[in-house]
């Protein structure tokens, strides 16, 4: 697999020479400064490519776009959508013209990945991302005061949520809101509580069926152009894979993925296998999902989570947690072998170590939440060891 690394652009604390030191050669990045729905011009794309290639000794290339965002109006199915589809199609054409042909995107309403703690303490002084079910319930029921929210949380979680809220200070509540918003990088909208209420109100009539229909329309509108220009679209699973604040989720499990790949049959309509996002779903067998959808996987995020009975979970070591990462890597390597033997020139699957623990000298640095250098380096080294061992023992191409 191609070893890649997420880079948030010129302002990222983790710089390109640091990335090369990890052993990664592919860069996963996006033009976060460009708002939703605006065309990514050839000039902007080439400028980012030039930054990545400025020092030829590093041997880095822009391997994957993460993410080319889908405008909220497309998810809701609201307003004049054809200009937004036109702009998305033109961005795809421009990316293909510049040689960047793997595109990760998501269809999560309003919020991207969501955590309630960004620096949960670990033994020895490190920190991890964490989702606490009772803090999410406290936000949903008592800060957001969403009508009917109590029905979405168990009595035990609600009791702990009420206790947290009653003991919390105004600073605690502001921090919780900031943590929940932290998964939205760059030009993505952030909300205060009234603003979030207004956004949720726009989704009042959108259930899972309706959101699925809107995703299917998006795929019908853009996938033919992606196929025409040689782009592979890779939808990212919901994180966490469960409804949040009354918002439906439609990329959360095996059934959802089957719907997506069946919505338009095309070699351009694919999946980002995120073992952590899917792994946070108690019913998801991630290795089995990897095997079933192997032919549709064009990008992989490899990380692990440890789940708890109340719906809470925490980012675990990449080879720890609840998901059998060795089995996941095996499924991807076997799919690579199949593609190579079939003569696919793009047989290698880009992978990156996703969310890492904040460790050692990274503790306290202003890195993007979940994206410190050392924790991801540790994860990449562990995953590289698994890949090389399996490739050697099973005679599989790396």
Q: What is the pLDDT of residue 182?
A: 87
CB neighbourhood size of 149 (10 A): 18
Ramachandran class of 311: left when φ > 0, alpha when ψ lies in -120 to 50, beta otherwise: left
Q: Work out the mean pLDDT of the chain and round it to a whole number.
A: 96
Q: Is residue 383 part of a domain?
A: yes
pTM above 0.85, yes or no: yes
Asked if pLDDT for residue 64 goes beyond 80, the answer is yes
Q: Is 355 a catalytic residue?
A: yes
Considering only CA atoms, give the Rg of the chain.
20
Judge whether 68 and 61 are in contact, CB under 8 Å: no
Q: Which ranges constitute the DSSP H helices of the chain?
A: 16-21, 42-53, 72-76, 82-97, 133-138, 155-167, 170-181, 193-202, 208-229, 254-263, 275-279, 286-292, 325-341, 373-394
Residue-wise pLDDT tens digits, 106-123: 999 998 899 999 999 999
Number of domains, the chain? 1
Q: Is residue 128 part of a domain?
A: no
Determine what percent of the chain is predicted with pLDDT higher than 90: 96
Q: Is residue 78 part of a domain?
A: yes
Angle at 313 between CA 137 and CA 198, to 5 degrees: 35
Alpha-carbon torsion angle 150, 177, 253, 283, nearest 10: -60
Dist. CA 68–CA 130, nearest whole Å = 26
User: What is the CATH number for 362?
Assistant: 3.20.20.150
Q: Is residue 177 part of a domain?
A: no
Read off the pLDDT of each residue in 71-91 and give the average, rounded to a whole number.
Answer: 97
* Farthest-apart Cα atoms in the chain, separation: 62
Dist. CA 97–CA 265, nearest whole Å = 24
Catalytic residue among 134, 296, 355, 357: 355
Q: Is residue 330 part of a domain?
A: yes
DSSP output for 302-342: E-EEEE-TTS-EEEE-TT-SSS-HHHHHHHHHHHHHHHHHT
Catalytic residue among 104, 141, 234, 274: 274
| 65: β partners | 29, 103
Q: How far is CA 81 from CA 22, 66, 269, 287, in A?
A: 42, 22, 21, 37
Read off the pLDDT of each residue in 238-265 and give the average, rounded to a whole number.
Answer: 97
SS (H, E, C) 2-32: EEEEECCCCCCCCCHHHHHHCCCCEEEECCC
Asked if pLDDT for residue 183 goes beyond 90, the answer is no
Dist. CA 120–CA 185, nearest whole Å = 21
Dist. CA 213–CA 250, nearest whole Å = 10
Q: Is residue 274 part of a domain?
A: yes
Catalytic residue among 140, 238, 354, 362: 354
Give me the phi and psi of 370, to 5 degrees please: 85, -5
Q: Is 274 a catalytic residue?
A: yes
Asked if pLDDT for residue 21 goes beyond 70, the answer is yes
Read off the pLDDT of each residue in 233-258 and give the average, rounded to a whole number.
Answer: 97
Residue-wise pLDDT tens digits, 184-239: 655 456 788 999 999 999 999 999 999 999 999 999 999 999 999 999 999 999 99
Q: Is 234 a catalytic residue?
A: no
For 64, the enclosing helix (H) or strand (E) is: strand 61-66
Read off the pLDDT of each residue in 344-353 and give the average, rounded to a whole number.
Answer: 97
Catalytic residue among 120, 134, 301, 318: 301
Catalytic residue among 236, 296, 318, 357: 236
Structural domain span for residue 258: 2-114+200-394
Q: What is the pLDDT of residue 187?
A: 45
Assign 227 to helix, strand or coil.
helix
Q: Is residue 122 part of a domain?
A: no
CB neighbourhood size of 152 (10 A): 18
Q: Is residue 60 part of a domain?
A: yes
Q: Is 371 a catalytic residue?
A: yes
């Amino acid at each position: 697999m191609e070893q890649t690394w997420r880079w948030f652009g010129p302002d990222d604390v983790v710089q390109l020479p640091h990335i090369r030191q990890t052993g990664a050669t592919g860069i996963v990045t996006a033009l976060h400064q460009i708002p939703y729905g605006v065309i990514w011009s050839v000039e902007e794309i080439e400028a980012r490519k030039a930054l990545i290639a400025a020092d030829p000794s590093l041997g880095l290339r822009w391997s994957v776009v993460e993410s080319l965002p889908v405008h909220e109006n497309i998810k809701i199915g609201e307003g004049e959508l054809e200009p937004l589809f036109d702009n998305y199609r033109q961005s795809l054409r421009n990316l293909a013209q510049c040689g960047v042909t793997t595109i990760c995107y998501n269809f999560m309403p309003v919020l991207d990945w969501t955590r309630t703690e960004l620096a949960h303490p670990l033994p020895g002084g490190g920190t991890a991302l964490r989702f606490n079910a009772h803090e999410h319930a406290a936000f949903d029921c008592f800060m957001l005061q969403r009508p009917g929210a109590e029905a979405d949380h168990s009595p035990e979680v609600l009791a702990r949520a009420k206790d947290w809220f009653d003991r919390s200070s105004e600073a605690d509540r502001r921090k919780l809101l900031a943590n929940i918003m932290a998964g939205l990088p760059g030009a993505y909208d952030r909300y205060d509580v009234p603003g979030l209420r207004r956004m949720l109100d726009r989704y009042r009539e959108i259930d899972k069926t309706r959101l699925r229909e809107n995703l299917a329309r998006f795929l019908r509108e853009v996938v033919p152009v992606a196929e025409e220009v040689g782009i592979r679209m890779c939808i990212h699973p919901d994180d966490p894979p469960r409804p949040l604040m009354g918002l439906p989720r439609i990329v959360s499990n095996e059934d959802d993925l089957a719907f997506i790949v069946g919505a338009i049959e095309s070699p351009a309509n694919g999946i980002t296998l995120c073992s952590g996002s899917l792994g946070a779903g108690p019913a998801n067998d991630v290795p089995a999902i990897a095997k079933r959808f192997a032919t549709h996987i064009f990008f992989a995020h490899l990380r692990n989570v440890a789940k708890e009975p109340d719906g809470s979970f925490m980012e675990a070591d990449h080879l720890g947690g609840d998901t059998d990462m060795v089995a996941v890597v095996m499924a991807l390597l076997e799919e690579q072998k199949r593609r190579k033997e079939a003569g696919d020139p793009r047989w290698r699957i880009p992978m990156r170590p996703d969310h890492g623990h904040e460790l050692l000298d990274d503790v306290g640095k202003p890195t993007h939440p979940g994206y410190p250098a050392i924790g991801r380096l540790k994860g990449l080294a562990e995953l590289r060891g698994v890949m090389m061992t399996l490739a050697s023992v099973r005679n599989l191409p790396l």
